Every structure is written in structure tokens, then in C-alpha cells.
Structure 1
Amino acid sequence: MDRQKWLEWLSKETEVPFEGWDFSYVGRTGRLQEAPLSWNYASLVTRKLPKITTLLDMGTGGGEFLSLLGPLPRQTYATEGYQPNVAVARNRLEPLGITVVEADGEDTLPFPDETFDLIINRHESFDPHELYRIAKSGATFLTQQVGGENDVLLNRLLGAAIPQDYLHWRADYAVRQLEEAGFVIAQSREETVPSRFYDIGAVVYYLRAIPWQIPDFAPEVYADGLWQMHQQIEKDGYIDIPSHRFLIEAVRR
């Protein structure tokens, strides 16, 4: 395949629909595989469910993660700030008895003081003081966050600018914020593990799904870098991109 036909074929990956927070198009086929962390977020959440009566899932996306947990308490709520995902989340979660509220993680949340026994947050922003307000005394905030150095190798390989606004976003920074709001930290862990891409089309699909990483991304704009990555994948069979994650479990005094 010559380069022009290759680029035309690659552009078709940008036309594949992406909804909610569902990467199954490249995940279920194994075209993109994430190395395991030393913790499993779903298991950590599941262990706490029998002990609670109220739950909030912040940044539920399309409700994909929350819908797989259970049994959930009768009073379970979810927030989602990205408007196109709100309808997706409601369609998935409301038949399960879960109320979905349109709200961003850093918004003032529409819940009374001391409402929740457990607040979970997987890759969503948060306001520590707002969390403290809506958490009951003794409640847990359990979050897995995407660190500021996540996927920056993609930017370097493609010659794209590296987002500067979140490079500081690490476990120690988030811990300080939560402690200043009044939380006690039960645990904090941080790791960088590889995400393995087995073809360049999976890279294109992934970047289109996370537009904040390279805001002006399009195959024709970054054709040279994509071609070089494609050649590396053809040679090695894959390319590894470091994923930056951290986990914090905080308890309200």
C-alpha cells in the first residue's frame, strides 16, 4: 500500500463512532492492551459496597463502569459533565434505578451536605472541598486518576505540543489538596505502565477519542509522525506508550 492510500485508509478510523467511554472497538479485539496496575479499582470499590447505603459515581461517562458493579445501594447517583454522554448514561443506568445528574467534577454538586457513604471517581476531576461537604463523617473517597504525564510519548512521537496544564497532576499534589480540605489519606499509590498498540489505526482511533491530548489531531496533519510510528509497529509488532495512573483512598474526618 502506498502512503496516500494508507493515509486514506487511516482516515476511516476517525469515522468510527465513539460513545460514552467505551474503547471496545480497539480493546475487545486486542488492538490496544493496557498493562495491569498493581491494584484493581473495580475490586477495591466492590469490597466497600456491602458496608454502604449511599453511593456517588463521579464522571460516570456512559455508565459503563458503574453498570458492571453490584449489588449497588438503593441510593446510588452518578454525575457526568460531558453533555453527549449524559443521555448515554441515563439510558444505561436509570433502568437500574440509578439517578444520573448532569454536573462536572469541579462544579458545585446538587446534593445536600453529608449525603454519601462512598464517593468513587475514575478519571474525573474533583473539588476536594465540595467532596468534603457531601461526604458523611467517616465516608470514603476512592479515586483512580490519569496522571499528568499520561500519553505524552504520543505527543513527542508525532511532534505535537505537550499539554502543560496538567503536568503537575500527580498523587502527591492531589493528596495535599485532599488533606487541606480535611480528609485523612488511607492509601496513595502511583504507577506508570505501558499501553500497547498493535496497529497505527488503533492509535488514530484512540487519539480521536481523547481530543484534549492533541487538540488539532487529524491523520493528514500528523501524517509524517504517524507514518514513522507505523513503520516502527511494522518492525516490532507493537508500540508501547506509558500510561500514568494514581490511586488515592481518603476518609472524611
Structure 2
Amino acid sequence: MDEGAFYDQIGAVNGWDFSRMECSVEGAAWDFYSEAAERSAAGSVLLDIGTGGGEQVLSTADRFAFIVGIDSSGPMVETANANRQRVARENVCFLQMEAERLEFPTAFFDTVTSRHCPFNAHEVARVLRPGGIFLTQQVGETDKANLKTAFGRGQAFGERDGSLLTQCRREMEAAAFDRIECFEYDAQEYYRRPEDLLFLLRHTPIIPDFGQYPEDREAFNRFIRKNRTPKGIRTNSRRFLLIAHK
């Protein structure tokens, strides 16, 4: 199943609502959308690639003149528009669009963001005005390392740490961005209950085909027993942030 079909399927199950999942993080070095807002000039126009349900970008809507959020999934865009109407943000719109082909004029945006989503660096550079910035946060290969080890499989399981970061940086350099800053963290993540972790595994592709293998149930229970702490069920959150200047 391709990525778009996967997210359409899970969206039909949970309505894209991850707010029910209780999780705390210790050691995160930044908040992505706050970072974007702080690095953008007053009155900036923002493009958010892979906006999902829009909850994250809507939280910083008062810090931009206008925001356009795009996603390849129709159901995600429907949810994002419903969330926008609920919080009554008139300076935000959400559109269904592929990141590979941005249907906007050249030099239209002051800031472009992409959180945990693929992007086309050349298209990003095209729609950014001179002096604009592009920020992307991506998931490192060693994210959820103890979970992937427990199941013997997972996203980027066994791949060299830093491979995706190197790839993203090369793509930005090829798109002729002027200066690229890089930041990384590996934080501790705690899921309050087994149900919270189960929700994550059922509704994200961290462990491919979770629940479809006979041994998955016991692997899950063993993981809970081994990693339960007073703060919650422990795993890690590996992230990197690239900030490219045009």
C-alpha cells in the first residue's frame, strides 16, 4: 500500500484525531512551528507542506499574515478545513496538492515548512521569494529504536543513522539554497498507558503491518513490561531540523 492510501485508510478509522493519545516528551530541543514563526518576519506568508489535519500550523496562525496548508490526502484536507472552521481562522486555507508539483506562482511565499513529510527542494526554492526560508523537520532512522528492536522490523530499521538527513541536505544544496543550518535531538518519549502506544502503532506506519503477525501481540506485551516507568512507557523521539535560506 502506498503512503497516501495508508493515511486515507487510517483517517477513516480515527478521523485524524491524535489528541486522544497521551504522550510526554523530555529533551525536545525545539517546537517546529514556533521555530518557523520566530524565524519569519512580521507579515510573512507561509506554505505548510504535508499539513495533515492542520492542528499544528493552526496553532501559530496569529503569527503569520496568511497560511496555506497543502496535503496529498483529500480526507486530511477535509479534516484540516473542519479544524479551521472550529477555531475561526480566516487567514488560513487548506488545499489538496502534491508536494512534487506546487501549484503556486514563483516567489510567492516568505516561509515554507514541511514536518515529517517528503518535499521537492527545487519546487520549494521556486515558490520562495529571495530572502525566504525553508524549514523541514524529519524523523531520524533511530527513532523508536527500542520498539523496532522489540518487533524486529520498522521504518528505516537497520538503516544508517543520518542517511535521510544527508539526502535532504544534498537535495537542498542541489536546489541552490544559500545557507543550510542543521539541528538534531534524541528525546525521551513516554506514553501514559498501553492504549496510547497501541493507538500510535495502529495508526502510523512505525511498525509495518502491525497486528498482522501472530507474534505481534506478545512482542507488544513484552515491550510494555520491559519499558514501563513511573513516567509512562518509554521510547525515543529522534528528530532533525534543516533550515535553508534562499
TM bucket, shorter chain: 0.7 to 0.9
2:18 to 18, 23, 30: 23
Aligned equivalent of 2:241: 247
Equivalences for 1:8-87 in 2 at 5 Å? 18-20=14-16, 22-27=17-22, 32-87=23-78
Give the stretch that moved more between structures: 96-105 or 114-123: 96-105
**Are residues 179 and 162 of structure 1, via their aligned partners in 2, closer, same or farther at CA, if it must alter by over 3 Å?**
closer
Amino acid in the other structure paired with 2:191 = F
Return structure 1 stretches of 4+ with deviation > 6 angstroms.
none
> Residues 215-239 of structure 1, C-alpha deviation per residue, up to 9 Å, x if partnerless?
21128730111121232245x4444
Q: Secondary structure at the residue paired with 1:227?
A: helix
Structure 1 residue matching 2:117: 3-state secondary structure: coil
Residue 143, structure 1, aligned to residue 136, structure 2? yes
Question: What letter matches 1:18 in structure 2?
Answer: N
User: Does 2:151 correspond to 1:182?
Assistant: no
| TM-fit CA distance, 1:162 | 5.1
Tell me the alpha carbon deviations over residues 202-252 of structure 1, each in whole angstroms, 9 at most, x when there is no partner.
Answer: 221111121x22221128730111121232245x44442121101111111
Contact 2:183–2:240 under 8 Å retained in 1: yes
Instruction: Name which one, 1 or 2, has greater alpha-carbon Rg.
Output: 1
- Please tell me whether the aligned partners of residues 40 and 110 of structure 2 are also in contact (alpha carbons under 8 angstroms): no
Pick closer, same or farther for the CA change 1:81–1:240 going to 2, 3 Å.
same
Moved more, 186-195 or 135-144: 186-195
Task: Name the structure 1 match of 2:123.
Answer: 130
The amino acid of 1:19's aligned partner reads G
Residue 4 of structure 1 corresponds to which residue in structure 2?
none
Question: Structure 1 residue aligned with 2:106, among 113, 117, 129?
Answer: 113
Whether contact under 8 Å (2:32, 2:137) holds in the other structure is: yes
Cross-structure match for 1:3: none
Tell me: CA distance 1:239–1:39, structure 2 relative to 1, closer, same or farther (3 Å): same
The residue type equivalent to 2:29 in the other structure is S
Q: TM-score, normalised by structure 2?
A: 0.81
Provide the rounded CA distance (Å) in 1 between the counterparts of 2:154 and 2:200.
17
How far has the Cα of 1:74 moved from its partner?
A: 4.2
Q: In structure 1, what is the Cα distance between the partners aligned to 2:117 and 2:69?
A: 12
Residue 65 of structure 1 deviates from its aligned partner by 0.9
Change (3 A) 1:220 1:49: same
Deviates further, 162-171 or 141-150: 162-171
Distance 1:102 1:165, change over 3 A: farther
Long gaps (5+) in structure 1: 1-13
Do 2:177 and 2:244's aligned partners in 1 also have CA atoms closer than 8 Å? yes
Query: Sequence identity of aligned pairs in percent?
Result: 24
| Contiguous gaps of at least 5 residues in structure 2 | 1-9
Alignment of 1:182-201 (within 5 A): 182-201=176-195
Q: 1:8 is matched with which residue?
A: none
- The alignment partner of 2:235 has SS state of strand
- Deviations along 1:138-183, whole A, 9 cap, x unmatched? 1110122212322242121123355469755443332222111111
The TM-score with structure 1 as length reference comes to: 0.79
Q: Over aligned residue pairs, what C-alpha RMSD do you find? A: 2.7
Matches of residues 222-237 of structure 1 in structure 2 within 5 Å? 222-233=216-227, 236-237=229-230
**More deviation, 109-118/47-56:** 47-56
CA gap 1:104/1:152 in 2 versus in 1, 3 angstroms: farther
Which AA in structure 2 matches 1:92? Answer: N
User: Deviation at 1:188?
Assistant: 0.8
